[in-house]
Structure 1
Amino acid sequence: MSGRRGEAGSALVEVTWLAILLLVPLVYVVVGVFEVQRAAFASTAAARAAGRAFVLAADPAEAQQRARAAAAVAMSDQGVDGGAVVIGCRPACLVPGSVVEVQVSYQVPLPFLPDALGRQAPSIRVHAEHTVPYGSFREDRS
């Protein structure tokens, strides 16, 4: 019994270090997944809002402006800054039977990673698309 007295309480130290070594990477992965999910939800909501705002506008110039504003509001609701918004129409914008396609892209920087050696921090690209039909029986607003 005298040989084991020197190890009394060492299991607590080992379990504590093991918990720290396992929990820190796990928490980092969870935070990273949450950041990507937040950006994915924001870009999906932005694409949907931009498409709806576009087809409800009176003319193509106003439609572009409204769509970009709606996308910016949807992104900021989720705490995401910016994002590239691309709006396209087939065959033309705001004509009966046309289709409006909205694409939103955003680069999600990985959390807690500083710019290393002057290069850009690693990021994950999130992309969302939404298609909105402009009804066949609506008036031509082109």
Structure 2
Amino acid sequence: MRRPTGDDGNALVEFSYLAVLLMVPLVYVLLTVFQVQRAAFGVTEAARQAGRAYVTAADGAQGAARARAAAELALRDQGLELCPTCLAPPAGELVPGGTVSVRVEHRVVLPLVGGLFRGAVPPSIPVRATHVEVVDRFRPAP
């Protein structure tokens, strides 16, 4: 005698739907976290390298150009671009024993945030880093 087979295969279908419903948001959250972490690594390294480049320059003008080039290179290493206003001008004097503060900011655009979620979810997340570099105390005074 044969049993009725009305529910055969339903567990596989239900599992598949449940897996898709759970995996899509999980993948989205992971992608977002990875992008924010990549930006955090980039801006931290950009601020550090910009500070180091600035304090080793001969004067403030050369230091600003070197700091911008160093920040661009560090961000490009993480696949990011330095916007014109992302690097604040280094604050501080190039005097022996002084300190110079560098601030870098980058906005991470959230993936797949379109017009539907525009009002409820911010379209980007700001990531900032500040680095304070000490000017070498044996540096010749300007």
What CA distance in whole angstroms lies between the structure 2 residues aligned with 1:79 and 1:115?
Answer: 26
> One-letter code of the match for 2:89?
I
What's the counterpart of residue 62 of structure 1?
62
Alignment of 1:69-88 (within 5 A): 69-83=69-83, 84-88=86-90
Q: Which amino acid aligns with 1:10?
A: N
Q: C-alpha distance in 2, partners of 1:117/1:111? A: 11
Instruction: Give me the TM-score of the superposition, normalised by structure 1.
Output: 0.88
What code does the residue aligned with 1:74 have? Answer: A
Partner of 2:35: 35
Which amino acid in 2 is paired with 1:122?
Answer: P
CA distance in 2, matches of 1:94, 1:104: 19
Normalising by structure 2, what TM-score?
Answer: 0.88
- Distance in 2 separating the partners of 1:63 and 1:114: 40
CA RMSD between the two structures: 1.9
Q: Which amino acid aligns with 1:6?
A: G
Aligned partner of 2:136 in structure 1 is 135
Query: Percent of aligned positions with the same letter in both sequences?
Result: 47
Taking the aligned partners of 1:61 and 1:21, their CA distance within structure 2 comes to: 55
Aligned length: 137
SS of 2:87 mapped into structure 1:
strand
Distance apart, 1:115 and its partner CA: 4.9
Task: Kindly indicate whether the alpha-carbon contact (under 8 Å) linking 1:68 and 1:85 is maintained by their aligned counterparts in 2.
Answer: yes
- Shift of residue 72 of structure 1? 0.7
Q: How far did 1:87 drift?
A: 3.1
1:58–1:116 CA distance, 2 compared to 1 (3 A): farther
Residue identity in the other structure for 2:33: V
Contact 1:46 1:74 in 2 (8 A): yes
Structure 1: tracts of 5 or more residues without a match: none
The 8 Å contact of residues 64 and 90 in structure 2, kept in 1 or not, is answered as no
> Using the alignment, how far apart are the partners of 1:102 and 1:123 within structure 2?
23
Alpha-carbon distance in 1 for matches of 2:122, 2:114 = 6
Long gaps (5+) in structure 2: none
| 1:1-142 equivalent positions in 2, closer than 5 A | 1-2=3-4, 5-83=5-83, 84-90=86-92, 93-115=93-115, 122-141=123-142
SS in 2 for 1:108: strand
Q: Displacement of 1:121 after TM fit?
A: 6.2
CA distance in 2, matches of 1:26, 1:109: 18
Distance in 2 between residues matched to 1:88 and 1:47, nearest whole Å: 10
